[in-house]
Structure formats: C-alpha cells, structure tokens
C-alpha cells in the first residue's frame, strides 16, 4: 500500500480497544500515526477544541460516513468524508475552510487500512484546500461497528457574491446537471453485491468547492441555487426542491446524462439511475437565458454539463419527466432504499 | 447502449403508435400478463400515448404480489431463528406479512440477505456450515431453473445445510383463471416474454384456440410492448386468435430445453395459492420427494395450510383486471409504498406501485 507520506512504523497491526482509551496507546496512534500522515493538513491547537476568529457570515454542515466497503473503485471512506462535507458547505455558497474529523473505529481494523484512510483524508483536504482543526477518535467493540465510521463537520465563509437559496428558485429557471449521474452508487453497489462488471465503474467522489466558487464569481446572484444530489440521487433532490419552492419540475429523460456502463449496471440490477447516489456532481438553478453560458463555463472547468429540465408553474410540488415515447412519468420520492427486482 | 437503444427508439415508437391508431376501430381491453410489462408501460408513459380505444389491464404477473401471506410469515419465522440465514430477492423484503415484513425482521436481528441468484445462497451455506441457509425461492417459470439448479448443485456438493422455501407460480393456468372469471372482459393478451424464454410457446396454443383470444408473446422494452399491442390489435380487428411471438430475438418456439429439463428434475406441478386471488389448480411447482431434504417446508415443519387473509386490499380484483389501482378507495391514501395494505403496492412490478411511482396520485389514470 503506497501512502503519500512514509508509512508510520508502530508495533501493532490492528486497532484495539486500548487505542480508544485516551491513554498512551491513543497518544501513539494519534501522534505517531494519524497526525503524522495528516501533516500540513492538520492545524493542531493542542487543546480541547479549535478557536476560530471571524466576523464573516459562516456556513456550517455536518455529515457521517458509514460506507461499506470502505475502499471502492474511485475512492474510500476517507476522501468521501472530506468531499461530502466540503461539498455540503460549498452548496451553501460558501468557501469551505475548516473541518472537524471524528473517527469511530471498530476493534480489529487493520492499522494499514487506517493509515490508507487517513492518507486519503489528507490528500482530499489538500485538493479541497481545507484544514482539519479538531477531531476525536473512539474505538468500539468488534461487532458494534462496521470497520470505521467517520463524522466530519465543515465550516466555511460565505462567498460575498453568492446568493444561494431554494427560495430563489423561480418559474422558468433552467436546471443544469454538471456531469453524468449514478457513478458513485453503482461503484459501491457493484462491490457490495459481489458482482463483477467487465468495465469497472468508478465513484465520482470529488470536491466541488472550486467549481462552485468559479461559477459564483462568474455569475454572482444569477445562480439561484446549487445542490448536490447525493443519497437518494437526482430524483430525491428535485422532489425536495419542487416541494420547497411550490413549483413543478419538468425533466427530459433523454437529457439526463448516464454513462453507458453505469446505465448497463443499473439495468442489470433493476435500479433507476435517477435515484442512485452521486458524490461529485451538482445541480444548478439559474435563469433560462443564462443556461448556455453557464454550461460553457462548466465545460471550461472540466465538467460535461447538460440542461436536464426547468422549473414550471404546472403540476406543483411534483417532478414530471417527459419520456422518449412521448408520454409522461412522475418521478416520486422513494419510500426507502431501492430494492432490486426479482426478474 | 447496444441492445437497449434500439428498443427505446422514439421515432420507431411513434411509427408503431401511428399504426395502432390507424388499425383500431373500436374499444379493446388487452391484458399485459407480466409485472415487468406493467412497469414498462407506466414508466415509459406508454399508457398516455395509446389511443383511447385501448384499455390496458394489468395482469397477475408479479411474483412478489402473489406470494401467499403464510409463506411470507414462514420466511419471517425462519429468519428470526438464530441459526438461520434467510436469503431472498430484494423486493420480497418489504412485502407485508401478517404482522411485519422481512425488513422489520432484519432490524430485529434476523440475518436476512439480498441476493441476485440462489447459487450465491449455496455458496453462503458452504461458507457457514453451522448455519441453516434458506433461499426464499419466489417467482414464475423464469426463476424456477436457477432455483432448481441450486438444489441439484447443493446435492452434488453434499451441502446439507441448504434448503429453499419455494413459492413458484405458473403463467398459463393464471391466464386461464382470468379468462374464466365471469366478470372478466379481456379481449387479448400480451404473454410474458421471459417465462416463454424458458417454457416456449406451446402452452398458449390450446388457450388461444379454446378461448378464442389472441396471445402475443411480448418483451419488456417500450418498443416491444407497443409492438405487442399492435399485433394483438391487428388480430382483434381481423377476428383471429393466434399465438404470435413478438419477442423472437429471445423466445424460441420450444423454449429452453436445458432449463425445462432441470425444472422437471426438481419440481412437479401442484395446486398453488395466489395471494389476493386464491387457489388455482395446477398453477405452481412443489419440490419432488427426491429433493425433500432441501425443501424448507419439510425440513422445518412449516404449515402449508393457507389461512384466510383479512385485508382491505383489493389485489385480486386488480390482478384479474376487474379494477384499476386508482379505483381502489385506499390507493394513495391509506395504501402507499411506505405503508402498503397489500403486495401490489410494494414491488415496482406491482400494478399499484407502478401507478403510484410513475403516474402519481394526482394524475387521473
């Protein structure tokens, strides 16, 4: 296993309950392991918490990560824990600055896996440009966790030109999707279900804060809302927006980008990509006349955007999709997770 | 994507729909037998674009919906036993039993696993020799070969801690029961393509000639379904009642001989209770005596007497095509996918869930 820094040499192979005791073992695990790997990403206050002085308007978001498997094509629970929270702060129209990092480790986790996860955290923080300012480590009995759970909380300062809110989404707004969907969920699913596909599907896990910042700098308050369709996918987020704005969402099936291998995997497993999780795409709501320009801007940032629909005054609080057959289909909220069909 | 885009081509769809419009001269009721076809009709909005003369009636072909409640209770009972790993296809987990469903049993500590193939369950049995592994073998003729194969495989490998809780239903007797219902007014059928992939078309000839109904073996993509409807409409307008094969890229006249052979090796035809409909003679498969060691009903002494089900769900009337989901007083009110009164609201192949998810509750059906 190649880490971005030298692998810490400690005389234990697995995490034990003692590493969560707060005593010497905890200190060694942190000081000679975790802190060393985090390196410049860690702002260590050497006290019980971080002190942040600010007069700016701040955004704050928290998220817990419980993904299984903890390593998957295109990422790990480590970078996911950074990117997920960084993106949530970014979607507020803010520049993420600091993260907290809480590790809940199941007794028996291989230390080499922990180092890899912490390394992924460090790399993701560098890419996103955020620092870890405080954290916590707990160890639970074997069987009381699932290898490792991570909680991160992020704070960021509002971008001065941003005016992001669901309440600003208006009739006629274009809905732009930055990239193709369902990669993250299907990457996880393909490993979890023990299925092998000819071409490996990679998670799209990545930080979106730089992209959001560029977009807001370019279009300022013309960007009414940015939001990332993570758990529950595009369908769930659009239903939430329709409900909050008291408008309808009109989608065009053919415009929603799904990569061929992802669409194929969804077909095989009986899942609808619209409901599958993403970790590296976001939706933009802006006036229709800006749609082309916004998409050009996104292309320059490396995205492959598509205008997938618009906000309308009909079928209030509902998401309706035009089907290629010329009919219409309601995209509703799912009652729970998608369950694979029998045949 | 190859082999999908061709069957979802909007230009071709419009051409076929135009031909349906030109062909139809009076009202016809057509039943799509399989839940997969219902799913395709509703998900693709095909019902919206069919001419008003054509009424699609959603048949009993959702295996999740027709699995009798006492077998769901038995699966939950087995799953709650500490030494049992219960394996199932995904959409069986939310189907309500008498008191709870398998998802709730899982939350209470039952070891319930979602699989895609019964052969995975055999592998789990091999890896867990101290546990009893039970596969909830639900489905039509389509899933029967794989379920049968899992028993043959387990027997060959000498694996003794594996069994199946079988609830297999057969399509042709169900079509017969639907036609024989005095209230039913179905003029033609789209037969389930994947069932015919296994069984072939042979069983449909006597049905078509005895009851004078056109039967078109149909696939599941939008173009398949629209073309199947066109073929039925053409026959109805001409007054013919043939068995035709729309799904010829997959379905052979004789079906899949190897799959049929393995079914015959393991199962035998038996009477079967269909949830919401009742018992239909010779409409299911039971495990032959020579494989009784792998029959969970016998292995665990499960009662096979189906108690009378008290429910407000009108699934029987819906699956026989007597009512549409929207004609049920509870649809979208007391009965929703979060809180289903009956199985058709659970699986996405169930007619009620398909309508709820894809047509919404506020759009008149």
The mean-pLDDT minimum among A4-18, A64-78, A265-279, A315-329 falls in: A4-18
A148 and A238 belong to one structural domain: no
pLDDT of A149 strictly over 90: yes
Q: Which of A189, A255, A340, A341 to mutate to test the interface with B (most CBs of B within 10 A)?
A: A341
pLDDT of B360 strictly over 60: no
A184 and A324 belong to one structural domain: yes
CATH number at residue A129: 3.30.1330.10
Q: Which of A189, A269, A339, A340 to mutate to test the interface with B (most CBs of B within 10 A)?
A: A339
CATH number at residue A274: 3.90.650.10
- CATH fold for domain B65-170+256-299: Rossmann fold (3.40.50)
Q: Final residue of a domain: which of A158, A190, A224?
A: A158
**What is the 8-class DSSP label of residue A41?**
G
A144 and A240 belong to one structural domain: no
Any domain includes A309: yes
Structure-model confidence comparison of residues B166 and A198, the more confident one: B166
Chain-centroid distance, C-alpha A5: 25
A153 and A175 belong to one structural domain: no
Q: Do B359 and A339 touch (CB under 8 A)?
A: no
**Which residues in chain A are contacts of B64 at CB distance < 8 A?**
342
pLDDT of A3 strictly over 80: no
Any domain includes A185: yes
A292 part of contact set with chain B, CB < 8 Å? no
pLDDT of B361 strictly over 50: no
A106 and A194 belong to one structural domain: no
A172 and A312 belong to one structural domain: yes
Any domain includes A342: no
The mean pLDDT of A292-310, rounded to a whole number, is: 98
Query: What per-residue string of b and e applies to B247-284 under the rule 16 or more CB within 10 Å gives b?
Result: beeebeeebbeebbebbeebbebeebbbbbbeebeebb
Q: Final residue of a domain: which of A158, A182, A199?
A: A158
The per-residue pLDDT for range A9-40, each reduced to its tens digit, is: 677 889 999 898 888 889 888 988 899 999 99
Q: Do A341 and B139 touch (CB under 8 A)?
A: no
pLDDT of B365 strictly over 60: no
Count of C-beta atoms within a 10 Å radius of residue B1:
13
The per-residue pLDDT for range A115-142, each reduced to its tens digit, is: 999 999 999 999 999 999 999 999 999 9
Give me the pLDDT at residue A342, please.
59
A263 and A194 belong to one structural domain: yes
The mean pLDDT of A33-48, rounded to a whole number, is: 85
Any domain includes A270: yes
Any domain includes A6: no
The per-residue pLDDT for range B16-41, each reduced to its tens digit, is: 999 999 999 999 999 999 988 988 99
Q: Do B91 and A260 touch (CB under 8 A)?
A: no
Q: Do B13 and A326 touch (CB under 8 A)?
A: yes
Any domain includes A79: yes
- pLDDT band at A4, cuts 50/70/90? confident
**Which residues in chain B are contacts of A339 at CB distance < 8 A?**
90-91, 93-94, 114
A174 and A292 belong to one structural domain: yes
User: Could you tell me which chain B residue has the CA closest to the CA of A265?
Assistant: B1
Give me the pLDDT at residue B363, please.
39
The per-residue pLDDT for range B92-133, each reduced to its tens digit, is: 998 888 889 999 999 999 999 999 889 999 999 999 999 999
A176 and A319 belong to one structural domain: yes
**Which residues in chain B are contacts of A341 at CB distance < 8 A?**
36, 89-91, 347-349
Closest CA to B229 of B60, B21, B72, B42: B21
Q: How far is A270 from chain B (nearest CA, A)?
A: 10
Interface of A with B in 154-193 (CB under 8 A): 193
pTM for the model stands at 0.86
Number of domains present in the structure of chain A? 2
The residue range of the domain holding A98 is 17-158
A96 and A191 belong to one structural domain: no
The per-residue pLDDT for range A226-255, each reduced to its tens digit, is: 999 999 999 999 999 999 999 999 999 999
Burial (CB count within 10 angstroms: exposed 0-12, middle 13-18, buried 19+), residue B363: middle
**Which residues in chain B are contacts of A326 at CB distance < 8 A?**
10, 13-14, 17, 45, 48-49
User: Which one of B1, B45, B94 has the shortest CB-CB distance to A329?
Assistant: B45
What angle do the packed helices A260-269 and A183-192 form, to 10 degrees? Answer: 50
**Structure tokens, B60:** 């009993």
Structure-model confidence comparison of residues B229 and B365, the more confident one: B229
What is the overall mean pLDDT for chain B? 90
Any domain includes A249: yes
Q: Final residue of a domain: which of A142, A158, A174?
A: A158
A35 and A152 belong to one structural domain: yes
DSSP line for A311-325: EESSSTT-EEEE-TT
**Which residues in chain B are contacts of A334 at CB distance < 8 A?**
337
Give me the pLDDT at residue B364, please.
34
pLDDT of A94 strictly over 90: yes
pLDDT of A322 strictly over 80: yes
The mean pLDDT of A62-77, rounded to a whole number, is: 94
A180 and A321 belong to one structural domain: yes
pLDDT of B241 strictly over 50: yes
């Amino acid at each position: 296993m190649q880490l971005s820094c030298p692998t810490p040499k400690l005389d234990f192979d697995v995490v034990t309950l003692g590493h969560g005791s707060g005593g010497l073992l905890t200190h060694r695990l942190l000081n000679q392991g975790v802190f060393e790997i985090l390196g410049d990403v860690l702002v260590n206050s050497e006290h019980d918490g971080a002190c942040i002085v600010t007069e700016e308007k701040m955004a704050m978001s928290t998220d817990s990560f419980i993904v299984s498997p903890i390593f998957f094509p295109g990422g790990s629970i480590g970078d996911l824990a950074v990117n997920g929270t960084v993106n949530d702060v970014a979607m507020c129209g803010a520049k993420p600055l600091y993260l907290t990092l809480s590790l809940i480790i199941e007794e028996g986790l291989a230390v080499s896996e922990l180092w890899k996860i912490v390394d992924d955290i460090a790399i993701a923080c560098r890419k996103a440009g955020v620092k870890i300012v405080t954290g916590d480590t707990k160890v639970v009995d074997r069987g009381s966790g699932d290898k490792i759970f991570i909680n991160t909380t992020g704070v960021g300062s509002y971008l001065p030109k941003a005016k992001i809110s669901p309440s600003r989404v208006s009739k006629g707004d274009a809905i732009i999707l930055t990239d193709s969907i369902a990669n993250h969920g299907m990457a996880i699913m393909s490993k979890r279900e023990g299925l092998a596909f000819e071409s490996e599907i990679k998670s799209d896990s990545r930080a979106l804060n730089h992209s959001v910042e560029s977009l807001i700098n370019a279009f300022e308050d013309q960007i009414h809302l940015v939001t990332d369709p993570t758990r529950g996918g595009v369908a769930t987020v659009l239903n939430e927006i329709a409900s909050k704005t008291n408008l309808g969402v009109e989608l065009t099936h053919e415009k929603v980008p799904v990569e061929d291998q992802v669409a194929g995997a969804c077909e095989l497993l009986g899942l609808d990509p619209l409901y599958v999780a993403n970790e590296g795409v976001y939706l933009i709501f802006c006036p229709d006349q800006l749609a082309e320009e916004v998409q050009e801007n996104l292309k320059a940032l490396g995205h492959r955007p598509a205008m997938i629909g618009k906000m309308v005054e009909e079928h209030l609080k509902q998401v309706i999709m035009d089907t290629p057959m010329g009919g219409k289909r309601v995209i509703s909220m799912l009652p729970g997770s998608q369950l694979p069909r029998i045949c | 994507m190859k082999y999908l885009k061709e069957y979802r081509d909007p230009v071709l769809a419009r051409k076929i729909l135009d031909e349906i419009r030109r062909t139809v001269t009076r009202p016809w009721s057509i039943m799509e037998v399989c839940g997969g076809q219902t799913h395709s009709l509703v998900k693709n909005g095909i019902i919206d674009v069919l001419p008003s003369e054509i009424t699609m009636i959603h048949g009993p072909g959702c295996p999740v919906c027709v699995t009798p409640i006492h077998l769901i209770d038995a699966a939950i009972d087995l799953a709650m036993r500490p030494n049992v790993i219960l394996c199932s296809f995904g959409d069986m987990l939310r189907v309500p039993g008498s008191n709870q469903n398998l998802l709730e049993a899982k939350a209470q500590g039952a070891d319930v696993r979602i699989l895609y193939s019964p052969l995975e369950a055999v592998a789990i049995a091999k890896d867990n020799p101290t546990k009893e592994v039970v596969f909830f073998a639900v489905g039509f003729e389509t899933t029967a070969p794989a379920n049968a194969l899992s028993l043959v495989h387990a027997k060959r490998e000498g694996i003794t801690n594996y069994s199946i809780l079988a609830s297999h239903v057969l399509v042709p007797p169900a079509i017969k029961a639907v036609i024989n219902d005095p209230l039913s007014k179905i003029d033609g059928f789209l037969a389930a393509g994947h069932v015919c992939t296994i069984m072939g078309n042979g069983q449909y000839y006597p049905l078509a000639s005895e009851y004078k109904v056109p039967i078109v073996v149909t696939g599941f993509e939008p173009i398949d379904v629209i073309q199947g409807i066109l073929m039925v409409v053409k026959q109805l307008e001409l007054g013919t009642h043939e068995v035709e094969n729309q799904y010829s890229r997959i379905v052979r006249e004789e079906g899949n001989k190897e799959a049929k052979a393995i079914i015959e090796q393991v199962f035998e035809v038996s009477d079967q209770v269909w949830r919401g409909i009742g018992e239909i003679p010779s409409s299911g498969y039971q495990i032959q005596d020579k494989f009784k060691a792998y029959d969970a009903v016998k292995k665990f002494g499960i009662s096979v007497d189906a108690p009378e089900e008290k429910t407000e769900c009108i699934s029987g009337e819906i699956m026989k095509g007597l009512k549409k989901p929207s004609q049920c007083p509870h649809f979208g009110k007391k009965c929703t996918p979060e809180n289903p009164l009956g199985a058709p609201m659970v699986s996405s192949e169930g007619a009620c869930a398909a309508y709820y998810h894809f047509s919404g509750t506020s759009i008149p059906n």
